[in-house]
Chains A and B, each alone.
Chain A
Amino acid sequence: MSVTLPQSLPDHSRITRIAYLPVETPHPDVIAEFPAPVRMRAVRLSAEDDTYPSPSPALRARLTLLSIPVAEPDERVLESAREWVQQHAEPDAGLASRQPTQLLMFHGMHIFWGRGCAALLAAADRLPVAEQAFIEAAYFEGELYEIETLLNHDWPLLEQDIPCAFDFSARNLSRQPELRQRFGKVLQLQSRLSRILPYLEAPHAYPPTVASQIGERLRERMRVEYRIEWLDGQLEVFEQVYELCGDRSSNFVHARATNALEWVIILLLVVQILLMLFETLSVVEA
């Protein structure tokens, strides 16, 4: 869907499309940089980034921001901004309809927020700070949301794999690569979560600034603290199951190899016994 500026907005209103790239990926228009352990940067996408074929799949806009420089917005502007967000927000994973648009208001700023897009209304001098803070907060919330979504898709697979955590047999051997892959994915998600935790669980900044308050308010509104707790618990369940699957499968493979060797020895002994038996019988009969 093409993103267009709504009509009848104040002058200098603009739309910015943001992508998040690893710090190693060069880009001419970097807006913000998130230091280690995150090591990502937010970049402003231009029309050239959309040319087909796209140079990198990472250059997909993760956030579309409508910035409106207005100190005291009237009802009409606020309604336009809310409608614009409602129209462009992506539906939450697993839901057909869009979630209602969130509104944050403080210090004369208005932030309408939906999945993947937002409208910021603030005085022109505060707008850049608000933009910067929102882009940062949206990145971390987006990461959390993506981890939740990825994990939610995997519950049926987990339930299917639970028997392997208790008992692994030859029949399951062919599933070893996919179990390994799923375990790797869980570890990867845990690593992603732990990298964003320092930001998401950071105590409130003192003295408070507009930028820090935007982040804090958004985190509160999005119930980030609880979501982290739930996600952590869920990841623990996944980790436990796949760790057990890994243990069981490697034990099985090891036992199977040892067992095969024992069988080879037993078979050779049986042959040896038969040879002796036949030799003895033939001597006795002769």
Chain B
Amino acid sequence: MRYSSIDLMRTIAICVMVMVHFGENLAGYIPPITGFGAPLFAFLSGMSYRLWVNGQEARQRSPEEISKVSVRRGLFVFGIGIAFNVLVWLPEDVFNWDVLTFIGTALLILNLVRQQPAPLLLFMAFLSLFFAPVFRYLVDYNAYWTNNYFDYDFTLSDVLIGYLVTGYFPLFPWITYSLVGFLLAGWMFPPSGQPAPNVRGVLLSGTALVLLSGLAVWTHPTTSTAMTKIFWLGWKMYPPTTEYVAGTLGMAMVLFGTLHACVDRNPRISENNVVLGIAMACSRNAFTIYLLHHLVHVWPMWVYGLAMGQNPDYYWKQLLPASTALLLAGLFLALMFFILWRVGPDRNHGIERWMRWLCD
């Protein structure tokens, strides 16, 4: 069963990512919404996986079959992530551990733990959140980051550490989002025949996380102590600090709770609503849109650099003014929405279709 709240959230995440990536890569401009798209994406990976598992179980597919498809899907997303790094960010950035490789790993981990009791998953999410700063401190996170970009050597230890702790989207603490999303979907979307719980709990927990995060950011101490060196680093996406993870996780929960209450459980909203139709189409093709938006703005930039007799990345962040970059992002989104509206929400296209063909 599809839930419009999930489709809307994924559409929001895609829009945020498109705006941020166009602004940053073409103009070096960091929009204020930066850092809000990826957490939503990671959170939704867990929620969608839970809903997918529910659907498979309702169709009486055996746990073994579900595991096989999950592993194939996880490896597919991971493989596409590696290919994407090579083709879009060029071969030297193959192991920068972008969001796709993380989501592929998250699917594999969720498959491994999907039958475990909820408290255990919560414990795992907590461990990931709690130990990520300790791991970062131990490996000296800042040594891997030059000019705010992940810079690693092609050694096994750097690649491994990047994957686990220091990359763009390392397993720790990003797996926290997927685990919480998985747990929350299991709770909010029980198998058919059972009553769905009230959204108040989700809204309250999300608000509490946002408030705690805000309090931690607000009281961020200036003195350097062991606590501030490891755990209390303020609001940062790189590294994803505890405050950032808790805050964005809380925001994702509040957004989900609100949309679930206002859209999914609202009998006045028509099934033929145009916005929801576009959101559904966008959500069903989010993977393709994610890849496509990189291709349409990064590849021309590389080609232009080469054509001008420079390095491919010579014009990175300085090709266009911010306003033009954002206008292009808006045009790209408008074109995507128009195409999706034309093709309709009922079918998968692009990478999603390949994934189903290959993995299901």
- Rounded to whole angstroms, the CA-CA distance of A190 and B289 in the bound complex is 64
Report chain B residues within 8 Å CB of A264: 120, 123
0 or 1 for each of B105-132: is its CB under 8 Å from A? (1 = yes)? 0000000010111011001100100010
Do B117 and A256 have beta carbons less than 8 Å apart?
yes
Given known pairs A256-B117, A260-B119, A282-B138, the reply for A174 and B194 (CB within 8 Å) is: yes
Give the number of residues in B that approach A within 8 Å (Cβ atoms). 24
Report chain B residues within 8 Å CB of A271: 127, 131
Q: For the complex, is A205 an interface residue (Cβ under 8 Å from B)? A: no
Given known pairs A170-B115, A275-B135, the reply for A282 and B140 (CB within 8 Å) is: yes
Within 8 A of A (CB), among B153-194: 157, 161, 164-165, 190-191, 194
Q: Which of A259, A274, A278 contacts B116 (CB 8 A)?
A: A259
Query: Which residue from chain B places its CB closest to the CB of A174 in the assembled complex?
Result: B194
Do B116 and A281 have beta carbons less than 8 Å apart?
no
Report chain A residues within 8 Å CB of B117: 170, 256, 260
- Rounded to whole angstroms, the CA-CA distance of A274 and B161 in the bound complex is 10
Report chain A residues within 8 Å CB of B120: 260, 263-264
Report chain A residues within 8 Å CB of B63: 169
Q: Separation in Å of the B31 CB from the closest CB of chain A?
A: 34
Query: Which residue from chain A places its CB closest to the CB of B136 in the assembled complex?
Result: A278
Q: For the complex, is B134 an interface residue (Cβ under 8 Å from A)? A: yes
Q: For the complex, is B30 an interface residue (Cβ under 8 Å from A)? A: no
Q: For the complex, is A5 an interface residue (Cβ under 8 Å from B)? A: no
Q: Tell me which of A256, A278, A279 has the highest count of chain B C-beta atoms within 10 A of its own C-beta.
A: A278
Q: For the complex, is B139 an interface residue (Cβ under 8 Å from A)? A: yes
- Rounded to whole angstroms, the CA-CA distance of A266 and B49 in the bound complex is 24
Query: Which residue from chain B places its CB closest to the CB of A283 in the assembled complex?
Result: B138
Q: For the complex, is B92 an interface residue (Cβ under 8 Å from A)? A: no
Q: Which of B113, B115, B134, B190 contacts A275 (CB 8 A)?
A: B134
Report chain A residues within 8 Å CB of B164: 274
Q: For the complex, is A29 an interface residue (Cβ under 8 Å from B)? A: no
- Rounded to whole angstroms, the CA-CA distance of A220 and B19 in the bound complex is 88
Given known pairs A171-B191, A285-B157, the reply for A267 and B115 (CB within 8 Å) is: no
Within 8 A of A (CB), among B251-310: none
Report chain A residues within 8 Å CB of B360: none
Report chain A residues within 8 Å CB of B157: 281, 284-285
Do B165 and A278 have beta carbons less than 8 Å apart?
yes
Q: Which of B57, B116, B161, B190 contacts A260 (CB 8 A)?
A: B116
Report chain B residues within 8 Å CB of A259: 116
Report chain A residues within 8 Å CB of B131: 271, 274-275
Query: Which residue from chain A places its CB closest to the CB of B191 in the assembled complex?
Result: A171
- Rounded to whole angstroms, the CA-CA distance of A169 and B57 in the bound complex is 11
- Rounded to whole angstroms, the CA-CA distance of A219 and B140 in the bound complex is 89
Do A278 and B127 have beta carbons less than 8 Å apart?
no
Given known pairs A259-B116, A264-B120, A271-B131, the reply for A171 and B57 (CB within 8 Å) is: yes
Given known pairs A275-B135, A282-B138, A282-B139, the reply for A263 and B161 (CB within 8 Å) is: no
Q: Tell me which of B116, B138, B194 has the highest count of chain A C-beta atoms within 10 A of its own C-beta.
A: B138
Query: Which residue from chain B places its CB closest to the CB of A278 in the assembled complex?
Result: B138
- Rounded to whole angstroms, the CA-CA distance of A250 and B332 in the bound complex is 56
Q: Separation in Å of the B213 CB from the closest CB of chain A?
A: 23
Within 8 A of B (CB), among A152-169: 169
Do B139 and A267 have beta carbons less than 8 Å apart?
no
Q: Separation in Å of the B239 CB from the closest CB of chain A?
A: 14
Given known pairs A256-B117, A278-B138, A278-B139, the reply for A267 and B161 (CB within 8 Å) is: no
Q: Separation in Å of the A31 CB from the closest CB of chain B?
A: 48
Query: Which residue from chain B places its CB closest to the CB of A263 in the assembled complex?
Result: B120
Query: Which residue from chain B places its CB closest to the CB of A268 in the assembled complex?
Result: B127
| A-B interface, 9 closest residue pairs, ranked by CB to CB distance from nearest | A278-B138, A260-B120, A278-B139, A281-B157, A260-B117, A263-B120, A271-B131, A279-B138, A278-B135
Q: What are 10 A-B pairs with beta-carbon distances under 8 A?
A: A260-B116, A263-B116, A263-B120, A264-B120, A271-B131, A274-B131, A275-B135, A281-B157, A281-B161, A285-B157
Interface residues of A (CB under 8 A from B): 169-171, 174, 256, 259-260, 263-264, 267-268, 271, 274-275, 278-279, 281-282, 284-285
**Beyond A278-B139, A282-B140, 12 additional pairs, beta carbon < 8 A:** A169-B63, A174-B190, A174-B191, A264-B120, A264-B123, A268-B127, A274-B131, A275-B138, A278-B165, A281-B139, A282-B139, A284-B157
Interface residues of B (CB under 8 A from A): 57, 63, 113, 115-117, 119-120, 123-124, 127, 131, 134-135, 138-140, 157, 161, 164-165, 190-191, 194
